[in-house]
Structure 1
Amino acid sequence: MSDNVLANLEDYQAIYQRACERKGGPGAVESLLSDPLTDGEVALLGDDRFLAEFSKKVFQSGFVWRVVRNKWPEFERLFFEFNLDKVLLMPDEMLEQRAQDPAIIRNYKKVRTIRDNATLIDSVRREHGSFAQFIANWPATDIIGLWAYLKKYGARLGGNTGPYALRAMGKDTFLLSRDVTGYFSQRNIISGGVNSKRSLNAIQQAFNQLQQQSGRSMQALSLLIAISVGDNLFS
């Protein structure tokens, strides 16, 4: 990203002040912000929980989130609480059977991703001790690199699916909600598609600069930008 583009970015205090003006002061703003888990806390999470969250977000993509949440206990039951070793042993015939069960969302292609992403997690844990440790060690200053990794090696974890799953698991990440992407477009920090390599690099560098100025997490900064502009459609 060129210095000219970075120059279009407001400093942290300007964004924070506008959020305060819109929301009624620092107290109101702080009540809307939240922080992720620490790296140490993320490292202690079970790899089965990452598989569960990836799977949940895959099924929620393009579907009514509430319906998936309501059916989730049955997903947990039918897929062995997302125990990696058990899921990896599930043959195609069993997956097909599960995909026909009315207790869950009957979508065979998405059901297949459960075993596919178990394979990803298993390969990573063999090299790094645990998938959770691998995620914890990945720096937030290159979170788009982690997004790209999940998109490349995972199943249906591209777009917002991987990032939203990471946020749900407590990994520090910004999110490309409509308000956040709208902000960067209006400031001419990005142009064209938000998911282009150039746009993602520009947004990452912008967040890195804001973090250096504020000392806040990417998660809090993402939320702050969202409530400082637009319709407050933030996550």
Structure 2
Amino acid sequence: MGQDSASNQHSGIGVLDKAVAVLQTVADEPCGLAELCSRTGLPRATAHRLAAGLEAHRLLRRTPDGRWRPGSALAELAGAATDPLLDAASTVLPKLRDATGESVQLYRRDGKQRVCVATAEPPSGLRDTVPVGARLPMSAGSGAKVLAAWTDPQTQRSLLADAVYGERTLLEVRRRGWAQSVAEREPGVASVSAPVRDSTGAVVAAVSISGPTDRIGRKPGVRWATDLLAAAEDLTQHL
């Protein structure tokens, strides 16, 4: 391997050491195939085969400009050890559920999908159940709007191409600090969502309240935005 390889440790299993070198190189700085070859010293075919394989397992993901970045599975694996956001969610989400009586979810974006990483469900009654690990499209729903509203311009354009909402909607979401939807993701379901930020101010997740439209109403933001924004701020403070 080249001198720029991210690790000098070797297990004696050649393909594993090379795959780890690819992961560590991309973790240091996202890169395309030419950069990956240059920085790892791997042949082009080998680097591409390993990166594509890691992408298939969601350990890497590819951006629209063709560069590889760390994938969502890395966060999930790391989260099994420690994840401050999930630790905070275990306390904050049940409080929000109890205050509203509705289903509460926490979403992270993974490419053109959003992944439910935590939930708190009411013990009984009609509810909008989204299981942990569920992957929903970024094309509809209040959680999708929040996560799309604070992405970089290139990613946002890519998401808007398939979305039921438009650029004006995302401008409004950024202005007021929350998003709502009625029967966008699923008939009969309404929701309201707000951004969760890390210590740098970057939006890293969306916290949502959802439930049957007949109960939650066609303007869920008017009803629940204050409680939701307080919960989002609580989650942010933990980060």
Relative to total residues, which structure has the larger strand share, 1 or 2?
A: 2
Q: TM-score, structure 2 length as denominator?
A: 0.25
Relative to total residues, which structure has the larger helix share, 1 or 2?
A: 1
Greater RCO between the two (CA within 8 Å, min separation 6)?
A: 1
Q: TM-score, structure 1 length as denominator?
A: 0.25
